[in-house]
């Protein structure tokens, strides 16, 4: 299990995120996770969807082909 916090305020390098590692036998395991730390981290972390631009996604699926990329032998 990983805590999801790659960097902490007091570290300028990557930190180990592993909270718990279960063995191979089937069982129920309990691990503590610092939810407050994770919430604080997510307020400033660039991952996630804070900077998504869904209004621009249509550009990725637009089928218009503009010069100079028009080709007669284009595969369909």
SS3 4: coil
Residue 64 burial (CB count, 10 A): 6
pLDDT at 48: 73
pLDDT at 67: 92
Query: What distance in Å separates the CA atoms of residue 36 and residue 18, rounded to the nearest whole number?
Result: 17
Q: What is the pTM of this model?
A: 0.49
Query: What distance in Å separates the CA atoms of residue 71 and residue 48, rounded to the nearest whole number?
Result: 38
pLDDT at 11: 59
Residue 6 pLDDT exceeds 70:
yes
Task: Decide if 28 contacts 17 (C-beta within 8 A).
Answer: no
Task: Please count the CA atoms within 13 angstroms of the CA of 12 that sit on its side-chain side.
Answer: 0
Interval 25-72: pLDDT, tens: 999 988 888 889 888 888 887 777 778 888 989 988 888 989 999 998
């Amino acid at each position: 299990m990983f805590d999801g916090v790659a960097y902490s305020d007091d570290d300028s390098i990557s930190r180990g995120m592993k909270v718990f590692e279960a063995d191979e036998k089937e069982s129920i395991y309990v691990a503590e996770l610092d939810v407050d730390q994770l919430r604080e981290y997510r307020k400033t972390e660039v991952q996630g969807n804070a900077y998504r631009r869904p209004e621009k996604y249509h550009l990725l699926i637009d089928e218009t082909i503009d010069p100079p990329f028009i080709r007669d032998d284009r595969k369909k």
